[in-house]
């Protein structure tokens, strides 16, 4: 998940083998790096990669490509194609791929809402925390449907509105602050994403609520550190378009945003879900 270019670059180099997104916490998995790796494994299970088939997989909004790299090493029979608008991200993805001498993948720079791929190019596709950054979420779903073969599975792992956007002023301001700090154009509701999937020709739509599995990160990272940073003088300056100048500043943005999301999550306005759907 991208909070800022500076933060993404810092975290990318800190966790290049597993990536930079929310982790899947459960019994025995309490450290961030382990949780992110666990989320990669979870995505692989949702895609059914453990069956050992030779599949062509599309990673829509791949970022630095760490999830695809991780899965490509674990499932060498599959071929992964990662696509991202971030030129620096793709350069880093290619560097990581070369360092590990992985041949069963390719990284390309481009828009995953409008690709150059032919119809029915891929067996399966996944999008981890990338749909939320699209200006038009429907465009993402339609494009994935176009490039997937009939019977192909689409896995989305992301944050969604579970209720209408906050109506009271405090939560509404928190919601808008979260969008601003994470550079998100807007969240989509579970009802809307289901509607888009059905309209694009997907069926067998299943929604898995993972909110509790990422709450550990929210609680310890968001509450203990985010609360302090949200109300610090630095965060006050951030609300007045203060520009990021250091890694420390970038950290405060992320932790402050985490605290805001903790508030929204506590009111059950936003949840974190894994969605699977099959193209008819």
Both tokens of residue 36?
């992110």
For the entire predicted model, the pTM comes to 0.81
Among 51-65, 137-151, 247-261, the least confident range? 247-261
∠ at Cα 45 (28, 7), nearest 5°? 65
Does the pLDDT value for residue 104 go beyond 80? yes
Position 97 pLDDT exceeds 80:
yes
Angle at 33 between CA 156 and CA 215, to 5 degrees: 60
| Structure-model confidence comparison of residues 232 and 258, the more confident one | 258
Q: Which CATH number fits domain 5-158+183-211+269-279: 3.40.630.40, 3.40.50.150, 3.30.9.10, 3.30.390.30?
A: 3.40.50.150
Residue with the larger pLDDT of the pair 245 and 122: 122
Does residue 130 or residue 175 have the better pLDDT?
Answer: 130
Phi, psi for residue 64 in degrees, rounded to 5: -85, 0
Considering only CA atoms, which of 258, 53, 57 is closest in space to residue 174?
258
User: Helices 66-74 and 32-47 meet at what angle, rounded to 10?
Assistant: 60
- Condensed to tens digits (0 to 9), the pLDDT of residues 10-64 reads 444 454 555 678 889 988 888 888 888 999 999 999 999 998 899 999 999 998 8
3-class DSSP state of 231: coil
* CA distance linking residue 55 with residue 241, whole number of Å: 45
Helix and strand element counts for the chain (H, E): 11, 7
Given strand 202-209, what is the order of strands in its sheet?
A: 105-109, 79-84, 56-60, 122-128, 148-161, 270-279, 202-209
Q: Are strands 56-60 and 79-84 parallel, antiparallel or unpaired?
A: parallel
The closest of 202, 201, 188 to 273, measured between CA atoms, is 188
Residue 111 has what pLDDT? Answer: 95
């Amino acid at each position: 998940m991208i909070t800022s270019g500076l933060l993404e670059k810092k975290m990318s180099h800190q966790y290049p083998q597993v990536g930079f997104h929310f982790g899947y916490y459960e019994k025995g998995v309490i450290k961030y790096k382990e949780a992110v790796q666990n989320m990669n494994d979870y995505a692989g299970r949702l895609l059914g990669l453990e069956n050992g088939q030779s599949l062509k997989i599309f990673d829509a909004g791949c970022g630095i490509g760490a999830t695809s790299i991780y899965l490509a090493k674990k499932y060498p029979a599959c071929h992964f194609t990662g696509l991202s608008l971030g030129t620096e991200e793709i350069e880093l993805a290619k560097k990581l791929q070369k360092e590990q001498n992985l041949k069963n993948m390719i990284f390309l720079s481009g828009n995953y809402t409008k690709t150059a791929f032919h119809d029915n190019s891929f067996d399966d596709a996944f999008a981890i925390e990338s749909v939320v950054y699209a200006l038009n979420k429907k465009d993402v779903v339609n494009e994935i449907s176009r490039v997937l073969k009939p019977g192909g599975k689409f896995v989305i792992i992301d944050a969604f509105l579970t209720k209408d956007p906050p109506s009271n002023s405090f939560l509404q301001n928190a919601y808008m602050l979260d969008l601003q700090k994470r550079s998100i154009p807007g969240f989509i509701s579970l009802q809307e994403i289901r509607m888009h999937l059905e309209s694009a020709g997907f069926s067998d739509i299943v929604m898995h609520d993972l909110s509790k599995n990422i709450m550990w990160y929210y609680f310890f990272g968001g509450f203990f550190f985010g609360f302090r940073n949200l109300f610090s003088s630095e965060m006050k300056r951030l609300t007045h378009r203060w520009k990021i100048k250091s890694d420390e500043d970038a950290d405060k943005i992320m932790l402050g945003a985490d605290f805001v999301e903790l508030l929204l999550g506590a009111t059950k306005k936003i949840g974190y879900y894994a969605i699977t759907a099959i193209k008819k």
